[in-house]
Structure formats: structure tokens, C-alpha cells
Chains A and B, each alone.
Chain A
Amino acid sequence: MVKFLNILKKLIGYCCIIIAPYIIFKMVDTAFDKVVHADEINKTNLFLQWFIILLAFVPCCIGLIIFGWYAITGVFQEENSQS
């Protein structure tokens, strides 16, 4: 069971490392698309909205990458096998 959990943790770690950059890319892409194609009146508002979203979520995604890296390198596995 512990072995299975350890493999699962590694797999989730890989998923986090793949998902987090994808989320950043997708958000930047959507933000760019929305702001560029907005009319002049809405441009400033949209820019501000997406700037706030990116400012909040990019560090969280970086945190998810670090979490994924820890999971892959077995940081959480040691804890599990000790307990």
C-alpha cells in the first residue's frame, strides 16, 4: 500500500509540474487575446482585471510546481514511510 501511494504521489507530482505551467500559459494567452481585441473604452479595465488575476495566480502556480517537484523527489514519501 505504501509503495502504491508513493508511486501515486510521484504521478501527482508530475501532473502538478505539467498543469501549473499550462495554467500560466493559458491565462496569459487568454489575457493577451482579451486585452488586444478589446475596444479602447474597455481596454484599461480588462488590462487591470487580467493583471490582478495573473498577479494572484502566477505565484500560486509556481507554488504548485515546487509542490510537484517535492512530490517527485520523494520529500513526502519519506514522511509517509516513517509514519
Chain B
Amino acid sequence: MQESPLFLKIKETGKHSKNPLKDSFGKKENLKYILLILFGALIGEGVMGPVGGIYGQIFVETICKIDFSQTRYIILYSSIFSMPFYVFFGWMSDLVGRKWLILSAMFLGILFYKIIYMKIFSLTDAKNRTELVVHKKSNVSCKAFLNPKNQDEILIETISDTVYSDQSVYRYTSIDTVLLAKTFVPPQLGFIKINNASKNDSFQNLSIVKFVTSSNIKSDASLVLNLTNHLVFKDQNQTVIKTVGSKIFWNIVGLFLILNIIFTMIYGPIAAFLVESFPTHIRYTAVSLPYHIGNGIFGGLVPFLGILLFEMSKTVQLPAGDILIGLNYPIAILSLSFIIGLVFLKNNKNIKL
């Protein structure tokens, strides 16, 4: 690798910065540009990347409950298909200038992020499905085991599938927590024995939870008591993993592609925009700090803060939480960046370095 011709030229003439850190951050005329570029462009760019990437992946996997591998393919395909747009918008910014493309991307993000995420959620939500249920296969498996965290509790796991006409399969895993009734007094010393069960609808029908007296652990069936009537239901926890059909899969890929195209609209011109914003002698030092703060701190915290806001939105009245609240953070940052960028930034076009 070689230094750029411009940098080599100023180095030869001795005009390069002896202390780029001091020159970048110690001088008001440079610091003001660093702050302007940070708040007017880079914090917006920073939060837009994860919305179409890592935060989207977390949303689809943990909130929409789509299968692990399908989630990765959705992100993979949308990222691959969006690649030409980086070049396209870079080229376009040479024609119309950087500012308006960057601001357009921010504006589209503010407008459409929540709409697109809501659409993704509704596509996978079982309540909104119009496809026919081909069959419900209950009790794919059923097993019972002692709660490893609390030996007084018995967990009964039942897995059932709902298959739709578009080949989507929603697999529900239900875990019933049951307790041994206090009215049960064991005849002698012994322990709870749980066998794997199958083809049982609920814990009421189970005949698998048994009390075995300590002196007859091995095989004497007459000393095995069926505890089914002594079990008390405590609570039920149901989770679902969705494997969506190809039509819905490609619809979600398309929606993520839109998110990524909006991102390419800001990411395509940003490198040229940054280079054009600072003089050669302090360019890399001046670009580096706002770029890494924008992407690392503001962008890097999108998934973390998104999930944090979602967890904080869970209340007694709304136990499922507000699924879109995680987007409030990137939208707020984008709005701030959009206003500052609109008023303060200049449209860089045909600038001589």
C-alpha cells in the first residue's frame, strides 16, 4: 500500500500536521467540523446499519420467533441483493451531491422503519394468517422431568406442530409446571421417578410420575405408586418456533432488502463525503473519531438498547411488551441527525481535494 499522492505532496513540502490530534481537536475550526459531521451525518448513518442487519436479525428471531437458520438466510439474501446499491448510490452522489442522498436516506428511515417492521411481524403472526391449517399435529413429543432449579416441581414438556397450506410450520413447545400436592403423604421413604411419556395431552392424563419406595427401586411394580392424582397445576409457559413458507420467506427478504437499500443510500456516499469534509493534513484523524463514535457507540448500541427498551415495555397490562419500541432509539437519533444535517451541512459536489 502507498500513501495518497496528496498526502505525499504535503509531506514533501513539510506542511503535514506534526500533531494531528492537537490540530484536529484542539483547534476550533476543525473541532466544529468534527462535531458537525458527527451529529449531522454519522450518528444517523451509525444507527441505520444495525436496523437492516443485526437488530433486524434479533427482531425476527426473538420477537417474530422465526427459526434460527431461516433468520440467517433472510439477512444473508437481503445483504447480498443490496450490494450493487452501494455502488449505485455512490455514483449517484457524484451527480446530485452527497447531502441530499444522505438526508433522503434518513428521512426514509424515519418514515418507514416502523411500518416495515410491523409488516414483518404481521406476516409471521399466527393471528393474521389467512392460509388454511392443513393439520394440527399435537404431541409430537411429550416428556417429563424434575425441575433442575427446584426439585419440588415437575416439568412436563409437550411439543405440537401446526402446519399451514403454504408449508409454514409453527412448532409450539408448552412446558407445564406441576407440583406434588401437600396432601400426598408417602407411605415410606422413597423418591420421585419420572419416565419419558408419549402421546398424552396434558398432565392430568400422565401416568408417568411415580413414587418408588427406597427398598424396591429396581423392578417391583406393586410398590410403585401412581402420583397423577396428587399433582397440582402451577403454570404453563408456551414458546413457538416458526418455519415460514417460501412466499412469506421471500416477502420478508424483500422487506429487509428495502431496509438495506435505504441504508446503502447513506452508506454509498458517506466515505466520499467524509474525505471531502476535512483538509488533507488532518483528514484521517478528524474522520476517524466521529466515524467510530457514530458506528461503534450509536450504531453498536442499537441492538442492546432496542432489546432493553422492549424488556422495559413489558408491564402487567401489556405482558408481551411493545414490539416496535426498540426502534424509537434509532428513529430519535435519525431525527436529530436529519435536522442538524438539513440546516448545517453543505452539499458536497465536485469538490477538489
Q: Which residues of A contact B (CB under 8 A)?
A: 5, 8-9, 12, 16, 19, 49, 53, 56-57, 60, 63-64, 66-67, 70-71, 75-76, 83
Q: Which residues of B contact A16 (CB under 8 A)?
A: 39
Provide the bound-state CA to CA distance between A48 and B293, in Å. 20
Question: What's the count of A-B pairs with C-beta under 8 Å?
Answer: 41
B32 in the interface, Cβ–Cβ < 8 Å?
yes
Residue contact A9 to B35, C-beta cutoff 8 Å: no
How far apart are B288's CB and chain A's nearest CB, in angstroms?
15
Provide the bound-state CA to CA distance between A13 and B179, in Å. 62
Tell whether A76 pairs with B346 under 8 Å between CB atoms, given A60-B293, A66-B35, A70-B32. no
Tell whether A67 pairs with B39 under 8 Å between CB atoms, given A8-B343, A76-B32, A83-B346. yes
List 17 A–B pairs whose Cβ atoms lie within 8 Å, in order of A's numbering. A5-B343, A12-B339, A19-B336, A49-B304, A53-B305, A56-B301, A57-B297, A60-B297, A63-B35, A63-B38, A66-B35, A67-B32, A67-B340, A70-B32, A75-B28, A75-B32, A83-B346
Q: Which residues of A contact B35 (CB under 8 A)?
A: 63, 66-67, 70
Q: Which residues of A contact B32 (CB under 8 A)?
A: 67, 70, 75-76
Residue contact A67 to B36, C-beta cutoff 8 Å: yes
B191 in the interface, Cβ–Cβ < 8 Å?
no
Residue contact B38 to A12, C-beta cutoff 8 Å: no
B250 in the interface, Cβ–Cβ < 8 Å?
no
Q: Which residues of B contact A66 (CB under 8 A)?
A: 31, 35
Provide the bound-state CA to CA distance between A82 and B28, in Å. 17
Task: Kindly list the 10 A-B residue pairs having the minimum CB-CB distance in the complex, ordered from nearest.
Answer: A67-B35, A56-B297, A70-B32, A75-B32, A8-B343, A67-B39, A76-B344, A63-B35, A9-B343, A12-B343
Provide the bound-state CA to CA distance between A67 and B340, in Å. 10
Tell whether A12 pairs with B346 under 8 Å between CB atoms, given A60-B297, A63-B35, A67-B35. no
Provide the bound-state CA to CA distance between A47 and B73, in Å. 36
Provide the bound-state CA to CA distance between A40 and B157, in Å. 30
Beyond A53-B305, A63-B35, 20 additional contacts (C-beta under 8 Å) are A5-B343, A8-B343, A12-B339, A12-B344, A19-B336, A49-B304, A56-B297, A57-B297, A60-B293, A60-B297, A60-B298, A64-B39, A66-B31, A67-B32, A67-B35, A67-B36, A67-B340, A70-B35, A75-B32, A76-B36
Q: Which residues of B contact A57 (CB under 8 A)?
A: 297
Cβ-neighbour of B301 out of A53, A63, A75, A76 (below 8 A): A53
Q: Can you list, as one digit per residue, whether each of B290-323 has a CB less than 8 Å from chain A (1) or not (0)?
A: 0001000110010011001000000000000000
How far apart are B186's CB and chain A's nearest CB, in angstroms?
33
Q: Which residues of B contact A63 (CB under 8 A)?
A: 35, 38-39
Provide the bound-state CA to CA distance between A69 and B343, in Å. 16
Provide the bound-state CA to CA distance between A49 and B303, in Å. 13
Provide the bound-state CA to CA distance between A53 and B308, in Å. 11
Residue contact A12 to B340, C-beta cutoff 8 Å: yes
List the A residue with the shortest CB-CB distance to B297. Answer: A56
How far apart are A41's CB and chain B's nearest CB, in angstroms?
13
Q: Which residues of B contact A53 (CB under 8 A)?
A: 301, 305
List the B residue with the shortest CB-CB distance to A75. Answer: B32
Q: Which residues of B contact A83 (CB under 8 A)?
A: 346
How far apart are A13's CB and chain B's nearest CB, in angstroms?
10
How far apart are A76's CB and chain B's nearest CB, in angstroms?
6
How far apart are B309's CB and chain A's nearest CB, in angstroms?
11
List the A residue with the shortest CB-CB distance to B343. Answer: A8
List the A residue with the shortest CB-CB distance to B293. Answer: A60
Q: Which residues of B contact A12 (CB under 8 A)?
A: 339-340, 343-344
How far apart are B192's CB and chain A's nearest CB, in angstroms?
28
